[in-house]
Amino acid sequence: MKLSRALLMALMLALASAAWAQPPGTPPPPSSSGSGQRMSPQSPPRPFKWWEDTKWRAELGLTNDQVARIEAIWAKTDPRIADGYSRLQPLETQLSKMISADDITEVDVLRHLDRIEAIRSEISKERTLMLFRMRRVLTPEQRTKLADMFSRHSDRGRGRSPQDSRH
């Protein structure tokens, strides 16, 4: 029983992380709330804010209090993640230039990579803690249902029907 709960949590975190890190230009699932991608092409992709979507809210049975608590977690974490991405982008651009330059040493590239990876690690930690905190707002039944909903959404995104995923 404990193993299945651990697997379920890992699946939910992975699916939510995948939703955050969807490639630029990938549309989020339909939403009546209008949440989705940032408009700037230089900004990171935005996750699907499932707690704002009326269909997802209804299927999960989210209360207004749960939605408010999840939104507060999001509102507190999102600026820190956005800041990380804004610090990361110029470093990645600089890395591309460094790789193309003839006068850069491997040591210089490694030092720069250390800076980049430290910021990526910060972003990943923020995102994971955000997902953990959001999960804690949900009931066990809602957690199970949310993981199933993300799984169905993921299957549709790959052009498969939910029935195909059983094989």
Q: Comparing 130 with 41, which gets the higher pLDDT?
A: 130
Mean pLDDT of 95-118: 96
Please tell me the pTM assigned to this model. 0.67
Which of 50, 100, 45 is CA-nearest to residue 71?
50
Confidence of residue 153 (pLDDT cuts 50, 70, 90): confident
Confidence of residue 124 (pLDDT cuts 50, 70, 90): very high
Architecture of domain 64-156: Up-down Bundle (1.20)
Long-range pairs of 1-4 with CB within 8 A, sequence gap ≥ 24: none
Confidence of residue 24 (pLDDT cuts 50, 70, 90): very low
From residue 12, how far is each of 27, 46, 62, 92, 131 by CA, in Å? 20, 17, 17, 29, 9
Mean pLDDT of 106-116: 97
Which of 68, 56, 62 is CA-nearest to residue 19?
56
Is the pLDDT at 40 greater than 60? The verdict is: no
Q: Which two tokens stand for residue 165?
A: 């995923």
